[in-house]
């Protein structure tokens, strides 16, 4: 019997050794074994989007953390450490994966209306064209705005530092306690893992939410148009520089430098743009080298095979 199934984290251990390294969020074709309570993955269907994780060490292969994500909720807490540079990096990573970012500002209940509007404005300045939602799991404010991105069959993934309220948000969206939150974990004095961390949830209205620890080690993966989209403001100024290949350093007629001087663009934002651009270029070079090496090895193998065949 053949089925199409949507992979959730709990099946992954068994799936890990099979074809194409299926991951959370993948749609797979499976063959149900008749006499056993098992199914075998036969094919991973083409992915609409994918998140890549940095693999430590010498391994040449990238690891796919999650696939087929429509929306990435970039989760930040309103009450501390609202870091614009981190938000920029996450937005870029979301676009590169092929998903659309939404910035979620949690713990709204801990701030005054004034503080909330100030924070939203500040984020909107770096998150150009990206929706920004201030919400609270405690009071339920903003939850309906989030649910708009989660109609039946749509998948959102959570991205954000520890303690910003991701697990609490999952519980709120699920309308029940499915994920262990920090206060519960800390109260557990024995410090053992009481529940295994589940990674994918089907919401009561049919939307899907992915909360996987792997999302925290996201790697920037090549995507030239992602930088343009994330830094539209900088790119717009750059398009007006006198020289096409202006490096926005010492050239005359540099519109970017001018924008910084007259306060149309902040220095921090420009430096962040340069940094992420450099990082992407470095990753791209690494990927190209990797691809070259793989190609070389492939031909080595083929020629070895041919030599063997025609030896006698
Ligand atoms: N006041 C307030 N506190 C919240 C809200 N959401 C979460 N918290 C608290 O913030 C703390 C961290 O929440 P978690 O949901 O465990 O955070 P997390 O992002 O899942 O953390 P990790 O699992 O470590 O990544 C807990 O003490 C929550 O009770 C909120 O909307 N308002
Ligand atoms: Zn310039």
- Among protein residues, the one whose CA lies closest to atom 27 of ligand 1: 183
Q: Which of 182, 184, 185 maximizes ligand 1 atoms within 8 Å of its Cβ, making it the mutation to test the pocket?
A: 182
- Among protein residues, the one whose CA lies closest to atom 6 of ligand 1: 165
Pairing of the two strands 39-44 and 27-32: antiparallel
Q: What pLDDT score does 228 carry?
A: 85
Residues 233, 236: Cα–Cα separation, whole Å: 5
Q: What pLDDT score does 176 carry?
A: 74
- The ipTM is 0.94
109 is in an annotated binding site: yes
Does the pLDDT value for residue 168 go beyond 50?
yes
- Quote the ligand 2 centre to 233 CA distance (angstroms): 13
Using a 6 Å CB cutoff, which residues line ligand 1?
A: 106-107, 109-110, 136-138, 162-168, 181-183
**Residues measured by CB to lie within 5 Å of ligand 2, the ion:** 241, 246, 248, 254, 256
The answer to whether the beta carbons of residues 168 and 139 sit under 8 Å apart is no
- Quote the ligand 2 centre to 253 CA distance (angstroms): 7
Residue 248 DSSP symbol: S
- Among protein residues, the one whose CA lies closest to atom 25 of ligand 1: 162
- Quote the ligand 2 centre to 90 CA distance (angstroms): 25
Cα dist from 81 to 75, 119, 170, whole Å: 12, 11, 21
- Among protein residues, the one whose CA lies closest to atom 22 of ligand 1: 162
In the chain, where are the structural domains located? Answer: 2-46, 65-217, 231-306
The answer to whether the beta carbons of residues 233 and 255 sit under 8 Å apart is no
| Segment 256-287, tens digit of pLDDT | 999 999 999 999 999 999 998 888 887 778 77
Reported pTM: 0.75
Does the pLDDT value for residue 240 go beyond 90?
yes
Angle among Cα 105, 111, 115 to the nearest 5 degrees reads: 80
111 is in an annotated binding site: no
* For the chain, percent of residues with pLDDT exceeding 70: 78
Residues 148, 135: Cα–Cα separation, whole Å: 14
Residues 100, 92: Cα–Cα separation, whole Å: 10
- Quote the ligand 2 centre to 240 CA distance (angstroms): 8
The third-level CATH classification (topology) of the domain covering 65-217 is: Rossmann fold (3.40.50)
- Quote the ligand 1 centre to 21 CA distance (angstroms): 32
Residues 237, 258: Cα–Cα separation, whole Å: 9
Over the chain, what is the mean pLDDT?
80
Nearest to 34 by CA among 58, 69, 1, 79: 1
More confident residue, 63 or 153: 153
Nearest to 252 by CA among 261, 240, 265, 243: 243
* pLDDT tier at 5, thresholds 50, 70, 90: low
Ligand found nearest the CA of 258: 2
229 is in an annotated binding site: no
Q: Helices (H), strands (E): how many in the chain?
A: 10, 11
- Quote the ligand 2 centre to 85 CA distance (angstroms): 22
Residues 210, 198: Cα–Cα separation, whole Å: 9
106 is in an annotated binding site: yes
The third-level CATH classification (topology) of the domain covering 231-306 is: Ribonucleotide Reductase Protein R1; domain 1 (1.10.40)
| Segment 34-61, tens digit of pLDDT | 777 777 777 787 777 777 666 555 444 5
162 is in an annotated binding site: yes
């Amino acid at each position: 019997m053949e089925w199409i199934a949507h992979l959730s984290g709990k099946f992954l251990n068994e799936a890990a050794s099979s074809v194409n390294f299926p991951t959370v969020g993948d749609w797979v074709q499976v063959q149900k074994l008749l006499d056993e309570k098992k199914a075998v993955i036969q094919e991973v269907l083409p992915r609409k989007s994918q998140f890549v994780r940095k693999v430590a060490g010498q391994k040449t292969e990238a690891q796919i953390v999650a696939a087929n994500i429509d929306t990435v909720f970039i989760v930040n807490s309103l009450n501390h450490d609202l870091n614009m540079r981190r938000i920029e990096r996450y937005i870029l990573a979301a676009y590169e994966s092929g998903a659309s970012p939404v910035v979620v500002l949690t713990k709204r209940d801990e701030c005054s209306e004034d503080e909330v509007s100030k924070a939203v404005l500040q984020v909107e300045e770096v998150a150009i064209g990206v929706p920004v939602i201030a919400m609270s799991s405690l009071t339920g404010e903003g939850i309906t705005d989030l649910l708009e991105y989660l109609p039946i069959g749509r998948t959102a993934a959570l991205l954000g530092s520890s303690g910003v309220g991701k697990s609490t948000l999952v519980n709120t969206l699920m309308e029940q306690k499915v994920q262990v939150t920090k206060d519960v974990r800390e109260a557990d004095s024995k410090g053992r893992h009481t529940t295994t961390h589940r990674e994918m949830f089907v919401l009561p209205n049919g939307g899907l939410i992915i909360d996987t620890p792997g999302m925290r080690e996201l790697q920037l993966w090549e995507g030239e148009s992602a930088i343009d989209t994330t830094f539209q403001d900088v790119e717009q100024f750059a398009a007006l520089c006198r020289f096409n290949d202006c490096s926005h350093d010492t050239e005359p007629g540099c519109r970017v430098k001018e924008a910084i001087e007259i306060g149309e663009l902040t220095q921090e934002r420009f430096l962040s743009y340069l940094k992420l651009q450099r990082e992407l270029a470095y990753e791209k070079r690494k990927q190209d080298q990797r691809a070259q090496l793989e190609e070389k090895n492939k031909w080595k193998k083929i020629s070895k095979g041919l030599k063997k065949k025609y030896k006698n």
